[in-house]
A and B are shown apart, each in its own frame.
Chain A
């Protein structure tokens, strides 16, 4: 196998890594927003399950979660591909962390803004969607980006449920070429570059949404 072919295969794996991670980050953020609202709810029916969710998904190794979901979904009659199982696992795990991040942000939204929203006649749902969540998102953006980078790195674990992303591709190639040292080093470099890109997007977004901030 020539090195051009190797490069193409590695980049193909990297593409799947990015796709799976970005999809999981987006889904996880959406679920996390709902869970964070649940955690802060005064109704115990919402608060208790939300806290249990966060505690469970933050307390169990991602590898165990992935293996569990990969085997559990078919056992309860849901047939998904390994990519589907991987995205489900990553999304649920990152949702727990993002919920905890957003909860911190929601709690530090200035009281005056919420009172003003109430005065303007927004109901509780509108207040959450229009005022509290956007402000919390802005306040916690560094932590959210940090978690996105963690998920990109953690996505290497989905190689164990048979998703041929960057890590699995590297494993397969190093088994067939007997060059694990170079290939895993290359994979490391690719991960590093993707992370660097993510943190660049993060600091760009942080600057772009600075408007209206003291």
Chain B
């Protein structure tokens, strides 16, 4: 085993493009998953009962099957029902769908954890439904769900590596391609691991910062 830094410098442009795709898919996928997850949780809480039950079943199926199987179903099975997607859009859609099921459960837990008394109090002072969601539910919930939401966002960074299997040219695919080209698997994969490790630790750190900042919303001893 030998390590050649020139190899990395030589391939820096493609490594950087892989990195940008990893970060971009993660950001878009996470934001999409948070939004869709919030819509699902709201529909389950406030929508009609049959809709809520159908959504609940879908969430269970997504949470009960591997992400890779969902991706394969979308990417290889999609064309048979007229859904022709390139690797990158398929990966983004897959990541969003997968993440939204988990985020919807986090939000559902958040909705349920806000004390009923607070909502009743808001009703008593004459806030309407939208105001209650905006002024009471969301701020109180944000603090309650933040730790698990940050955790989920970090899990999604790691899930982006799976997209390499359906040939999305993100970091894992680029680096392992370089590794196989030069027969330097171990070195390149080790660097890749260190890189993800740093990214995950950084996001964990930022998440804890955000929690500390938002902590004035924390419910006292509830």
Contact = CB atoms under 8 A, between A and B. Distances in A.
Most buried by B among A61, A65, A171, A191: A61
Nearest to B74: A184
B185 to A, nearest CB: 4
Nearest to A181: B77
A154 B158 CA distance: 12
Contacts of A63: 161-162, 164-165, 172
Contact of A61 (B61, B64, B172): B172
B178 to A, nearest CB: 13
Contact of A71 (B70, B160, B164, B186): B186
Interface string A179-198: 01100110110011001100
Contacts of B160: 61
B65 interface: yes
A184 B76 contact: yes
Contacts of B69: 156, 167, 170, 184, 187-188, 191
Chain B interface, >50% SS class: helix
Interface in B144-173: 157-162, 164-165, 172
Contacts of A67: 176, 185, 189
Contacts of B159: 61
Given A65-B193, A68-B186, A60 B158 contact: yes
B193 A167 contact: no
A61 B162 contact: yes
Range, interface on chain B:
35 or more
A159 B73 CA distance: 15
Interface of B: 1, 61, 64-70, 72-73, 76-77, 80-81, 157-162, 164-165, 172, 176, 179, 185-186, 189-190, 192-193, 196-197, 200-201
Interface of A: 55-56, 58-65, 67-68, 71-72, 75, 153-157, 159-160, 167, 170-171, 174, 180-181, 184-185, 187-188, 191-192, 195-196
13 contacts: A59-B197, A59-B201, A64-B192, A68-B192, A157-B66, A167-B66, A167-B69, A180-B73, A181-B80, A184-B72, A188-B65, A188-B70, A191-B65
Given A63-B172, A185-B77, 6 more contacts: A61-B162, A61-B196, A65-B193, A71-B186, A188-B73, A192-B61
